[in-house]
Amino acid sequence: MAFKQESGAWTRYRKLPSVVEVDFHWSGEGREPGMFGYWDAMGRVHQTALESLEAAQEVGDRYVLFTHGWSTSRQGKTTARSIVRSLMRSPEATPYIIRKECIQHDSVFVAAVRPLR
């Protein structure tokens, strides 16, 4: 099942009911030189996104808004955007999201959270 494709002002998704926002514009925050590398950071993106879905489902949030930016992956390059989109297509996300209600936007991804009950 494909995600809804939308464009326009992404900030409107902040008005969705029961939405939590996860911002991946880390730009080196909390990093000291040599603390961890690029692939470690991409691993953190994956882990943070998955944990955010789990937490949202646990507390009953309806949406998780992932702000990942416009950067697209070129061959051999990975971005927060590609990590988030890959996770949302993966079986790992299946217990936590309703794919047909998720929204793929150029600069954000809105995950519709599957209720526990």
Render pLDDT for 72-86 as a digit per residue (tens, 0 to 9). 555 557 788 889 999
- The answer to the question of residue 50 being in a domain is yes
Helix (H) or strand (E) holding 111: strand 108-112
Residue span of the structural domain in which 19 resides: 4-112
Q: What is the mean pLDDT of residues 41-60?
A: 93
Give the separation between CA 27 and CA 47, rounded to whole angstroms: 17
- The answer to the question of residue 117 being in a domain is no
What's the CA angle centered on 24, arms 21 and 26, to 5 degrees? 125
- The answer to the question of residue 66 being in a domain is yes
Whole-model pTM: value is 0.85
The residue ranking higher by pLDDT, 98 or 27, is 98
- Number of structural domains found in the chain: 1
Q: What is the mean pLDDT of residues 32-46?
A: 70
